[in-house]
């Protein structure tokens, strides 16, 4: 009877320890994103096309929110698509030119936006997002409602810092679209 009890206890110990070791080697996988909810960024915006003829390199600052998708994550999310909200401001100083014998300086252009969109996390170190929405363009003392859109891809160095190339479009009714390319640095929290 003593031998049977001893054998039974040894079998139980082996089974539980094998199960515990198997759990420790299990693949680390989430069914939810494991990043940060907020990101703030600043960047340098370069006008292209007609906008580059009248305005110089601009500066921008923005805030973005998404459900735990910013920063380097433990693993790639099981559901790679998510939503993003973004707001920001950009400032573009006007260029100087000569109109005949008279110098002329174009007024500065300020662009405020509030965008919503979709983001895709193809891997745990980065994301691609497309967002669009309403904006306010301020030029020469006149404020006008615009629409805008933005496509960017972010690579995260770690859980807090990332860098992004960005393509931006700003459109005012009755005018051609203004296009920009930008480089942005982000801090996630």
Which CATH number goes with the domain that contains 72? 2.40.160.20
The answer to whether residue 13 is domain-embedded is no
Region of residue 141 (left: phi > 0; alpha: psi -120 to 50; beta: else)? left
The answer to whether residue 6 is domain-embedded is no
Of 90, 37, 43, 42, nearest in space to 64 by CA: 37
Per-residue pLDDT of the chain (189 residues; tens, 9 = 90+): 566 676 666 666 766 665 555 444 445 555 567 789 999 999 999 999 999 999 999 999 999 999 888 998 888 888 889 999 999 999 999 999 988 889 999 999 999 999 999 999 998 899 999 999 999 999 999 999 999 999 999 999 999 999 999 999 999 999 999 999 999 999 999
pTM over 0.85: no
The answer to whether residue 18 is domain-embedded is no
So what's the pLDDT on residue 24? 46
Question: What SS3 state is found at 139?
Answer: strand
Give me the number of domains the chain comprises.
1
Contact 61, 88 (CB under 8 A): yes
The answer to whether residue 114 is domain-embedded is yes
So what's the pLDDT on residue 75? 84
The answer to whether residue 118 is domain-embedded is yes
The answer to whether residue 4 is domain-embedded is no
Q: Give the residue numbers spanning the domain of 134.
A: 30-188
The answer to whether residue 135 is domain-embedded is yes
The answer to whether residue 96 is domain-embedded is yes
């Amino acid at each position: 009877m003593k031998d049977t009890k001893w054998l039974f206890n040894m079998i139980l110990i082996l089974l539980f320890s094998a199960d515990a070791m198997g759990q420790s080697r299990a693949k680390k996988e989430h069914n939810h994103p494991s990043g940060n909810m907020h990101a703030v960024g600043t960047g340098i915006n370069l006008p292209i096309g007609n906008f580059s003829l009248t305005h110089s390199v601009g500066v921008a600052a923005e805030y973005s929110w998404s459900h735990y998708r910013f920063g380097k994550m433990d693993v790639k999310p099981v559901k790679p698509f998510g939503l993003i909200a973004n707001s920001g401001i950009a400032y573009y100083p006007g260029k100087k030119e000569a109109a005949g014998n008279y110098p002329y300086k174009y007024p500065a252009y300020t662009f405020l936006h509030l965008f919503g969109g979709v983001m895709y996390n193809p891997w745990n170190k980065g994301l691609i997002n497309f967002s669009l929405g309403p904006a306010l363009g301020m030029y020469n003392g006149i404020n006008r409602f615009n629409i805008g859109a933005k496509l960017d891809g972010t690579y995260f160095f770690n859980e807090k810092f990332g860098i992004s190339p960005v393509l931006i479009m700003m459109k005012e009714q009755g005018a051609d679209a203004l296009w920009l390319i930008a480089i942005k640095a982000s801090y996630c929290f």
